[in-house]
């Protein structure tokens, strides 16, 4: 008995030790980024980024507040895209899911298959790029950040359909139908309020996907004509691309008509500003986020 | 006479019912419509766009105006060394991710389940999951803060202190398989850990109680109860990821190596190749050939994986 107790304790302690180690590993790069953004630029250039910089400085943030137009604009774009995208995605997904959750609907199988087949096969990036840029002329418009790929996916459709079909009792909708309520009314007044948990979960996932997205902008926005539409992620990405461009073409200097590159600490400060809202909001939504993953609602 | 009259009556009634029932479904079709339109634009039109790969694509002439190229684009692609490199990289990295990711996330899930303090357990879960919330652009910045040749933490604080010479990380190929694998594990372990944890939590405590009465150690309980009961989840996730082995995470391979040309031979996967051929070189032939090659092989694998899952556990199959 005594031995058993000890064994449990050993497991407890080792579990805590491993978890503390992993949590530190997960957190450490963020702390480094954070400290780097508060480091004096010359110190960073001489000593490199460090957890214990010799000289601290607020210069990077002062620069950003002076240049708030660029960063602030990117912030507004990120919020706009996230709000419109998430709302649109919730509307389209829940309506489609409601339609195919009706077991008697003629053609329901076809609609479900149409959705599932998109998970099995796709036309590839090149034809998708061609369709959006040449057929729909979406390049350098805000729709380029909202519509391609993110608006609806078969996986969330399946989750919402299953919720509608299994967690909402059909007798409720049946009763409403007998009372003469139309389908739109039933959907908006009964189905949606009863499905808040799943809608909140997929809404959260959608919002994170839009907030973090940079690939749509990479394909459909050009710096010259679409730069004013850049979200925070795209500003961060374009800073990198310009630095890489200079690193690979060292004979061209920054003065040759290209944008002036922010100093090393300013880059880190912009990155901090980009992740801060997520980190601050995380404690409030992490419960739903974890629940969503357990449901299989977050795709990698 | 009578019989036929009643039959026609019934027919008429049926027809009427069918008509009204058809009408009663109209709202459902209206609600499905935006989704259908979106899928046609976003998924089905691009499927037709696959013919670009068989054309000598000229943007000005459009798809229909461009000349047919037959299989020439594919011939060019497979004649190049690139086709082999990008296929190898995609398959090898994904295999490493599948094996390491499965083992590590199960280990972490089992250990987290041992933490009996609820608050501590929640905190560990949240912290380990945090990297999953970040975009690859942010991960690029985080890795750069560690590895940058001039200002990186590794060169300036660690290698320096050990008296070792600085390494130009973004130019030296041999480190990149490790860097990419570690970056990917760092970002995704939290996600798969949560999935495994949710099925470990679902295991009935009775098994463990019975086992401890019989004197089984924790270690033995893990191997004799937890792992065998996790098997269905492990197999399902394993097959699903094998089905997606031909697709790579574009963000990881594009952002983390900062699209550095010197590293291409060890960092370039099919998705990165397609992006660079299309957006940097405007080479429609090569990029569409590579992208269709990925679609077709990918489709076969996903289909095969699903048929296999259907046999093993019906409820986890996509169709």
Same domain as A72, residue A12:
no
Same domain as A247, residue A203:
yes
> pLDDT tens, A161-217?
999 998 888 888 889 988 888 889 999 999 999 999 899 989 999 999 999 999 999
Same domain as A157, residue A15:
no
Is residue B100 within 8 A of residue B185, CB to CB? The reply is yes
The reply to whether residue B279 touches residue A100, judged by beta carbons under 8 angstroms, is no
Number of domains within chain A: 2
Whether residue A54 lies inside any domain: the answer is no
**Which residues of A, range 175-194, sit inside 8 Å of B by Cβ?**
182-184, 187
A43 at interface of B, judged by CB pairs closer than 8 A = no
Sign of CA dihedral A82, B272, A245, B156: positive
> pLDDT tens, A35-82?
999 999 888 888 888 899 988 999 889 888 888 888 889 999 999 999
- Position A144 scores a pLDDT of 95
Task: Report how far residue A214's alpha carbon sits from residue A231's, in angstroms, rounded to the nearest whole number.
Answer: 8
> pLDDT tens, B171-229?
999 999 999 999 999 999 999 999 999 999 989 999 999 999 998 888 899 999 999 99
Same domain as A214, residue A151:
yes
Same domain as A149, residue A83:
yes
Same domain as A274, residue A129:
yes
- The overall average pLDDT reported for chain B is 89
Residue B174, burial from CB neighbour count under 10 angstroms (0-12, 13-18, 19+) = exposed
Same domain as A73, residue A31:
no
From A158, which residue of chain B is nearest by alpha-carbon distance? B318
Same domain as A32, residue A83:
no
Task: Report how far residue A207's alpha carbon sits from residue A292's, in angstroms, rounded to the nearest whole number.
Answer: 13
Whether residue A198 lies inside any domain: the answer is yes
Long-range contacts of A269-273 (CB under 8 A, 24+ apart): A269/A37, A269/A60, A269/A61, A269/A63, A269/A64, A270/A64, A270/A71, A270/A232, A270/A235, A270/A236, A270/A239, A271/A33, A271/A37, A271/A236, A271/B138, A271/B141, A272/A33, A272/A34, A272/A37, A273/A64, A273/A71, A273/A75, A273/A232
Same domain as A166, residue A24:
no
**Which residues of A, range 112-131, sit inside 8 Å of B by Cβ?**
113-116, 118-131
Residue B113 pLDDT exceeds 50 = yes
- Position A240 scores a pLDDT of 85
CA dihedral B40, B42, B43, B46 (to 10 degrees): 100
The position carrying tokens 């094996």 is B99
- The overall average pLDDT reported for chain A is 87
- Position A70 scores a pLDDT of 81
- Position B213 scores a pLDDT of 92
The reply to whether residue B45 touches residue A131, judged by beta carbons under 8 angstroms, is yes
**Which residues of A, range 158-177, sit inside 8 Å of B by Cβ?**
none
Residue B16 pLDDT exceeds 70 = no
| Mean pLDDT value of segment A241-259 | 56
> pLDDT tens, B36-60?
999 999 999 999 888 889 988 877 7
**Which residues of A, range 131-150, sit inside 8 Å of B by Cβ?**
131, 134-136, 147-149
Q: Which of A107, B65, B77 minimizes the C-alpha distance to B57?
A: B65
> pLDDT tens, A98-139?
999 988 899 999 999 999 999 889 988 999 999 999 899 999
Whether residue A112 lies inside any domain: the answer is yes
Whether residue A129 lies inside any domain: the answer is yes
Query: What residues in B contact A126, CB-CB < 8 Å?
Result: 49, 52-53, 274, 278, 284, 287-288, 291-292
Tokens representing A67?
A: 């240049």
Q: Which of A283, A28, A16, A5 minimizes the C-alpha distance to B112?
A: A16
What DSSP assignment string belongs to chain B?
A: -HHHHHHHHHHHHHHHHHHHHHHHHHHHHHHHHHHHHHHIIIIIHHHHGGGGGGEE--TTTHHHHSEE-TTHHHHHHHHSHHHHHHHHHHHHHHHHHHHHHHHHHHHHHHHHHH---HHHHHHHHHHHHGGGGS-HHHHHHHHHHHH-TTT-HIIIIIIHHTTPPP--GGG-GGGHHHHHHHHHHHHHHHHHHHHHHHHHHTS-HHHHHHHHHTT--HHHHIIIIIHHHHHHHHHHHHHHHHHTTT---HHHHHHTTTT-GGGHHHH--HHHHHHIIIIIS--HHHHHHHHHHHHHHHHHHHHHHHHHHHHH-GGGS--
Residue B1 pLDDT exceeds 70 = no
The alpha-carbon gap from A88 to the nearest alpha carbon of chain B, in Å, equals: 10
- Position A300 scores a pLDDT of 39
Is residue B46 within 8 A of residue A122, CB to CB? The reply is yes
CATH assignment at residue A206: 1.10.3720.10
Same domain as A169, residue A25:
no
The alpha-carbon gap from B201 to the nearest alpha carbon of chain A, in Å, equals: 11
Task: Report how far residue A37's alpha carbon sits from residue B152's, in angstroms, rounded to the nearest whole number.
Answer: 13
- Position A3 scores a pLDDT of 52
Whether residue A215 lies inside any domain: the answer is yes
Residue A247 pLDDT exceeds 70 = no
Whether residue A42 lies inside any domain: the answer is no
A87 at interface of B, judged by CB pairs closer than 8 A = no
The reply to whether residue B146 touches residue A106, judged by beta carbons under 8 angstroms, is no
Same domain as A133, residue A27:
no
B250 at interface of A, judged by CB pairs closer than 8 A = yes
**Which residues of A, range 218-237, sit inside 8 Å of B by Cβ?**
218-219, 233, 236-237
Residue B2 pLDDT exceeds 90 = no
What domain range is A17 assigned to? Answer: 2-37
- Position A261 scores a pLDDT of 61
Whether residue A263 lies inside any domain: the answer is yes
Compare CB distances from B47 to A29, A123, A184 and report the shortest one's residue: A123
Whether residue A202 lies inside any domain: the answer is yes
Query: What residues in A contact B284, CB-CB < 8 Å?
Result: 126
Compare CB distances from B138 to A115, A134, A275 and report the shortest one's residue: A275
- Position B294 scores a pLDDT of 94
Q: Which of A290, A102, A299 minimizes the C-alpha distance to A187?
A: A102
Question: Is ipTM over 0.85?
Answer: yes
Is residue A268 within 8 A of residue A247, CB to CB? The reply is no
Query: Which residue of B28, B153, B211, B255 is the best one to mutate when testing the A interface, meaning the one whose CB has the most A CBs within 10 A?
Result: B28
Task: Report how far residue A7's alpha carbon sits from residue B223's, in angstroms, rounded to the nearest whole number.
Answer: 16
Same domain as A26, residue A113:
no
**Which residues of B, range 63-102, sit inside 8 Å of A by Cβ?**
63
């Amino acid at each position: 008995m005594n031995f058993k107790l000890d064994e449990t304790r050993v497991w407890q302690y080792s579990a805590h030790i491993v978890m503390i180690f992993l949590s530190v590993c997960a957190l450490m790069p963020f702390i480094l980024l954070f400290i780097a953004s508060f480091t004096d630029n010359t110190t960073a250039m001489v000593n490199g980024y460090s957890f214990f910089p010799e000289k601290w400085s607020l210069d990077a943030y002062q620069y950003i507040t002076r240049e708030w137009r660029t960063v602030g604009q990117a912030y507004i774009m990120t919020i706009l895209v996230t709000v419109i995208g998430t709302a649109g995605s919730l509307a389209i997904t829940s309506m489609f899911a409601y339609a195919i959750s009706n077991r008697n609907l003629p053609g329901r199988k076809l609609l479900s298959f149409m959705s599932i087949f998109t998970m099995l096969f796709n036309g590839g990036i090149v034809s998708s790029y061609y369709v959006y840029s040449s057929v729909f002329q979406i390049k350098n418009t805000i729709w380029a950040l909202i519509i391609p790929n993110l608006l609806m996916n078969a996986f969330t459709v399946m989750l919402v359909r299953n919720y509608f079909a299994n967690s909402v009792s059909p007798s409720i909708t049946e009763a409403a139908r007998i009372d003469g309520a139309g389908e739109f009314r039933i959907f908006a007044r009964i189905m949606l309020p009863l499905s808040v948990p799943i809608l909140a979960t997929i809404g959260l996932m959608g919002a994170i996907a839009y907030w973090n997205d940079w690939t749509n902008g990479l394909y459909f926005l050009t710096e010259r004509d679409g730069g004013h539409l850049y979200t925070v992620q795209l500003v961060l990405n374009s800073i990198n691309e310009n630095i890489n461009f200079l690193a690979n073409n060292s004979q061209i200097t920054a003065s040759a008509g290209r944008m002036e590159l922010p100093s090393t600490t300013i880059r880190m400060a912009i990155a901090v500003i980009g992740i801060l809202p997520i980190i601050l909001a995380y404690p409030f939504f992490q419960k739903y986020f974890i629940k969503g993953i357990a449901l299989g609602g977050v795709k990698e | 006479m009578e019989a036929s009259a009643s039959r026609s009556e019934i027919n008429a009634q049926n027809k009427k019912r069918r008509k009204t029932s058809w009408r009663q479904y109209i709202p459902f079709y209206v609600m499905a419509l935006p989704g259908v339109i979106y899928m046609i634009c976003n998924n089905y039109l691009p499927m037709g766009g696959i013919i670009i790969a068989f054309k000598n694509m000229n943007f000005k002439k459009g798809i229909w105006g461009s000349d047919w190229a037959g299989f020439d684009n594919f011939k060019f692609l497979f004649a190049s060394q690139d086709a082999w490199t990008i296929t190898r990289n995609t398959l090898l990295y994904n295999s490493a991710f599948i094996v390491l990711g499965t083992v590590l996330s199960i280990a972490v899930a089992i250990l987290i389940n041992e933490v009996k303090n609820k608050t501590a357990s929640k905190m560990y879960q949240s912290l380990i999951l945090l990297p999953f919330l970040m975009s690859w652009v942010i991960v690029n910045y985080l890795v750069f803060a560690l590895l940058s040749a001039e200002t990186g933490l590794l060169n300036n604080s660690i290698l320096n202190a050990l008296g070792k010479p600085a390494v130009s990380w973004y130019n030296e190929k041999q480190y990149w398989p490790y860097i990419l694998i570690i970056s990917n594990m760092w970002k995704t372990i939290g996600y798969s850990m949560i999935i495994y944890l949710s099925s470990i939590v679902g295991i009935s405590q009775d098994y463990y109680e019975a086992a401890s009465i019989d004197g089984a150690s924790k270690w033995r309980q893990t191997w004799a109860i937890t792992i065998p009961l996790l098997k269905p989840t492990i197999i399902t996730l394993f097959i699903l990821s094998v089905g997606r082995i031909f697709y790579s995470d574009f963000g990881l391979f594009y952002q983390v190596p900062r699209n550095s040309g010197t590293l291409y031979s060890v960092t370039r996967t099919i998705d990165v190749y397609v992006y660079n051929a299309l957006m940097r070189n405007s080479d429609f032939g090569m990029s569409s050939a590579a992208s269709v090659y990925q679609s077709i092989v990918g489709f076969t694998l996903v289909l095969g994986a699903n048929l296999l899952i259907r046999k093993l556990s019906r409820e986890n199959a996509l169709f």
